[in-house]
Every structure is written in structure tokens, then in C-alpha cells.
Amino acid sequence: MKYLYAPWRDDYVRGKEKGGCVFCDISAHPEKDEEHTVLYRDEVCFAVMNKYPYTPGHFMIIPHMHTDSLEALPPQDWSHITLLAQKGVAALKEAFGAGGVNIGMNLGEAAGAGIAEHIHLHLLPRWHRDSNFITVIGDARVYSVDFAEIYERVKAAFLAKL
């Protein structure tokens, strides 16, 4: 059996994340946007690369408002987030070469949310035949591009759509 080395996932797997809401921490510290790999921010929300992506280019749009309830989010904030999601999908398809995009939310721990206390919308670029034996049988993914390079490419593409 061969093993893939993914040290960037160690803190997540071992539960070593710092206390408190990670999304509120990102929201409160715009001066750390590069460190946190924030793609975009405005008065309603921010877009940030997923630190533990399912696919290269996977990012999230997150309201600044701390809530675990989509129905508690003001309707105008939800509308704003969905408009940004449209631009994000276009950026992933046109400038990042995605053949498609999965978009969605896991609302609550029972629905599979890894960070259930703060709602967030996932955008996952997909490519034809991006699921192969290593993904299906090995429960692993291989990325051929560095995370920092992906961040810069997605950020440029997303900002170009705004």
C-alpha cells in the first residue's frame, strides 16, 4: 500500500484548531486577509478559500453575521451572497477552467457541517473525470498545483467578475 502525505490537514484531523468561531475570527481581522486566504470582503460577507478543500479551488462565501440558521439571515444578505455565488461560479468556470461547480450548504451538524455554528456556502470546482480510483477507493485526492498558487488564481478570477 502507498501513502500520500498531507501535513496541512494535521491540525484539522487532530482537532487542534483554536477555540471560538474560525469564521468570526476571519471576519474580525481584515488585516490578515492574505494569511487567511480571503478572496473578497464587503460589509455583508467575505469569500475565503477552504483551508481543507475537497477540490482545488474550493472556496466559501460566509456572512459576517454569526448565525447557525439560514432562516435568521436577513433576506437582503442572503440575496447578496447568492449574487456573489453567481460571480464565483462564473469565475471558476471561465478563468479556472472548471467543467462544472458544486454549490451548497450543510446546515447543522446533523447535515454534515464541519463548522455548524456559522453558516457558509461552498463552491467546489469540478472537472470531467476528476473522480478516479484514488478518490473513490483510496478516499484521497491528489493536487497537482500548490495551494498558494490556486489561491492567487481563484482570487484574480473572482475579483475580475465583481
Which positions are catalytic? 120
Residue 115 DSSP class: S
CA 51 – CA 162 distance, rounded (Å): 23
Question: How is residue 148 annotated by DSSP?
Answer: H
Q: Angle at the Cα of 26 (from 31 to 79), degrees rounded to 5?
A: 110
Question: Do residues 116 and 88 lie in contact, with contact meaning Cβ atoms separated by under 8 Å?
Answer: no
C-beta separation of 146 from 97 below 8 A:
no
- Determine the Cα–Cα distance for residues 37 and 58; give it in Å rounded to an integer: 12
